[in-house]
């Protein structure tokens, strides 16, 4: 049977957020305040495959899920730099939990960007709580049926799905007499099944990256858009920019998707730095004149080098997030076109920010010694495992994306030069 909308007919067109006066710095401070509980819950989150219902409630009450959600639908509509900083702080407490949170809460931006008013009103719902895992690879099909679309397929690695109210998935649109087209479907939880197939990996076990399965699922017409999730057509503006008047919803997707992941990676680096400091403050150096390792230059040096790398990475991520906002604003104002190569440039810089964090964690892992760094159950081992898992993510394979970036830049430049020919 078709999904029955839960939208109340007399729902107001605008919905106030739970705390209308909440500001960005308070939101980030709440993430810092949760660090102790996140650290304490790391092992249990790994065993569970995601953070606890209690932590989900804490995230909800802190406003994290609403960070990028439009204000007219009960969100706070902060900017992408605020989201990046908040996720870094959560990751500093538990990397896997931050991955799960970022890749469910962050996609409110993409719903607000790509979908029309009717779909947004229904998706964000009567109470404004929304979270959506996303899988851009078109691992299933959408076939037209009366009043909507039937969906079939299985989408793997849907990070953040345990607490998601919806999923956003890439689909192949099948219509009689037409070639398959790319599409993005927004699917409420009632129409899909989360598979119990996450956790048997080296790291990021708390990320809730389960697969989603759909058989004869149904969504209404307005819950599907004919766009390539990796490269939506934003040249003429977006539904969200027109609806909300906010350029944050006018940008591309690659730069934003990479911001999600690289923010987590920077947070992992700082988590490892915190743990390394705990280790060297508790252990003594070798030799007849033993001192605390924290007082010895051989142990201070890795700390200082790692901190420098992480500071560079942090600035790179926040800077890229701000550039995303600036380019989207200029595009919305008609002053500059947000190009495909712009999105790829942002992605490339963010990939190298993550690489700096990988280098920092690797250094700290080696410097912390076997018993403190490699033993099962230690936090340093967990952080090393988490970045080892993260490095397999396609979005962090900068070598694979480098030629695409150069090719796109050269093609755009050739086109501009060609258009100037008499």
Tens digits of residue pLDDT in 339-386? 999 999 999 999 999 999 999 999 999 999 898 889 999 999 999 999
CA distance 337 to 328: 8
* Per-residue tokens: 336: 């500059």
Task: Provide mean pLDDT across the span 302-322.
Answer: 98
Asked whether residue 5 carries a pLDDT value surpassing 60, the answer given is no
Q: Are residues 164 and 261 in the same domain?
A: no
Regarding whether 253 and 388 lie in a shared domain, the answer is: yes
Residue 48 sits in a domain of what CATH number? 1.10.540.10
Q: How far is CA 345 from CA 2, 154, 217, 342, in A?
A: 42, 31, 37, 5
CATH code where residue 319 lies: 1.20.140.10
pLDDT greater than 60 at residue 8: no
Do residue 160 and residue 104 come from a single domain?
A: no
Quick: pLDDT tens for 167-202. Answer: 999 999 998 888 999 999 999 999 999 999 998 999
Show Cβ contacts of residue 156 under 8 Å, excluding neighbours closer than 6 positions.
135, 139, 211
Of 199, 229, 259, the position where a domain reaches its end is 229
Cβ pair 276, 303 in contact under 8 A:
yes
User: Which DSSP string corresponds to 376-409?
Assistant: TT-HHHHHHHHHHHHTTSGGG-HHHHHHHHHHHH
The pLDDT tens digits of the residues spanning 9-65 come to: 333 458 999 999 999 999 999 999 999 999 999 999 999 999 999 999 999 999 999
**Is 240 a member of any domain?**
no
* Whole-number Å distance between alpha carbons of 163 and 263: 20
User: Whole-number mean pLDDT of the chain?
Assistant: 93
In a domain, 332, yes or no: yes
Q: Is the pLDDT of residue 144 over 70?
A: yes
What pLDDT band is residue 3 in, cutting at 50, 70 and 90?
A: very low
Q: Are 102 and 260 in contact (CB under 8 A)?
A: yes
Residue environment code for 244-280, b if the CB has 16+ CB neighbours within 10 A, otherwise e: bebbbbbbbbbbbbbbbbbbbbbbbbbbbbbbbbebb
104 part of a folded domain:
yes
- Give the pLDDT score at 76: 98
Residue 327 has pLDDT above 80, yes or no: yes
Domain closes at, from 57, 82, 111: 111
Q: Looking at the structure, do residues 260 and 399 belong to the same domain, yes or no?
A: yes
For residues 77 and 168, membership in a common domain is answered with no
Which of 229, 259, 285 terminates a domain? The answer is 229
Residue 106 lies in a domain: yes
198 shares its domain with 316 = no
Give ∠ CA 290-301-352 in degrees, rounded to 5.
150
Q: Are residues 91 and 33 in the same domain?
A: yes
Q: State whether 105 and 144 are in the same domain.
A: no
Number of domains in the chain: 3
Residue 1 has a pLDDT of: 33
Question: Closest Cα to residue 11, out of 165, 163, 172, 127?
Answer: 127
Q: Flag whether 205 is in a domain.
A: yes
Residues 269 and 350 in one domain: yes
Query: Are 305 and 394 part of one and the same domain?
Result: yes
Q: Kindly state the percentage of the chain with pLDDT values over 70.
A: 96
Residue 91 lies in a domain: yes
**Residue 62 located in a structural domain:** yes
Alpha-carbon distance 186 to 39, whole Å?
A: 33
Q: What is Dmax (Cα atoms) for the chain?
A: 83
Instruction: Supply the pLDDT for residue 298.
Output: 95
CATH of the domain at 153: 2.40.110.10
Domain with 208, as residue range(s), is: 132-229
3-state helix, strand, coil in the chain (%, to 5): 55, 10, 35
Residues 366 and 267 in one domain: yes
Same domain flag for 256 and 355: yes
- 252 pLDDT above the threshold of 60: yes
Section 158-173 average pLDDT: 98
285 pLDDT exceeds 90? no
Q: Which of 261, 241, 279 is nearest to 117 (CA)?
A: 241
Domain membership of residue 92 (yes or no) is yes
């Amino acid at each position: 049977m078709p999904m029955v909308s839960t939208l109340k007919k007399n729902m107001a067109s605008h919905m106030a957020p739970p705390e209308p006066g909440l500001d960005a710095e308070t939101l980030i401070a709440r993430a810092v305040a949760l660090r102790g509980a996140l650290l304490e819950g790391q092992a249990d989150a790994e065993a569970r495959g995601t953070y606890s219902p209690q932590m989900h409630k804490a995230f909800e009450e802190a406003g994290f899920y609403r960070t990028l959600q439009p204000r007219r639908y009960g969100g706070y509509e902060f900017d992408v730099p605020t989201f990046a900083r908040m996720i870094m702080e959560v990751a500093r407490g538990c990397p896997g939990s931050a991955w799960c949170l970022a890749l469910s809460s962050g996609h409110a931006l993409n719903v607000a960007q790509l979908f029309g008013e009717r779909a947004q009103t229904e998706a964000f719902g009567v109470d404004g709580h929304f979270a959506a895992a996303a899988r851009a690879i078109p691992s299933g099909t959408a076939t037209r049926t009366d009043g909507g679309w039937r969906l079939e397929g299985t989408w793997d690695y849907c990070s953040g799905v345990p607490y998601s109210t919806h999923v956003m998935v890439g689909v192949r649109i099948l219509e009689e007499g037409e070639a398959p087209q790319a599409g993005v479907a927004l699917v409420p939880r009632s129409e899909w099944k989360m598979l119990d197939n996450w956790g048997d990996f080296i790291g990021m076990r708390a990320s809730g990256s389960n697969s989603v399965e759909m058989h004869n699922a149904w969504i209404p017409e307005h819950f599907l858009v004919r766009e390539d999730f990796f490269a939506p057509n934003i040249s003429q503006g977006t539904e969200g920019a027109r609806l909300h008047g906010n350029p944050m919803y006018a940008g591309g997707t690659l730069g934003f998707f990479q911001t999600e992941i690289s923010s987590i990676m920077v947070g992992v680096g700082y988590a490892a730095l915190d743990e390394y400091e705990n280790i060297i403050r508790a252990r003594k150096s070798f030799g007849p004149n033993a001192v605390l390792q924290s007082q010895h230059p051989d142990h201070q040096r890795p700390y200082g080098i790692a901190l420098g790398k992480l500071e560079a990475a942090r600035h790179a991520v926040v800077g890229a997030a701000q550039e995303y906002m600036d380019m989207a604003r200029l595009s919305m104002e008609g002053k500059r076109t947000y190009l495909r190569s712009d999105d790829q440039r942002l992605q490339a810089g963010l990939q190298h920010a993550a690489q700096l964090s990988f280098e920092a964690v690797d250094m700290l892992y080696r410097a912390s010694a076997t018993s403190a760094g490699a033993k099962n159950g230690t936090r340093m081992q967990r952080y090393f495992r988490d970045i080892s898992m993260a490095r397999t993510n396609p979005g962090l394979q900068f070598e694979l994306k480098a030629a695409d970036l150069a090719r796109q830049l050269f093609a755009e430049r050739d086109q501009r030069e060609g258009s100037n020919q008499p």
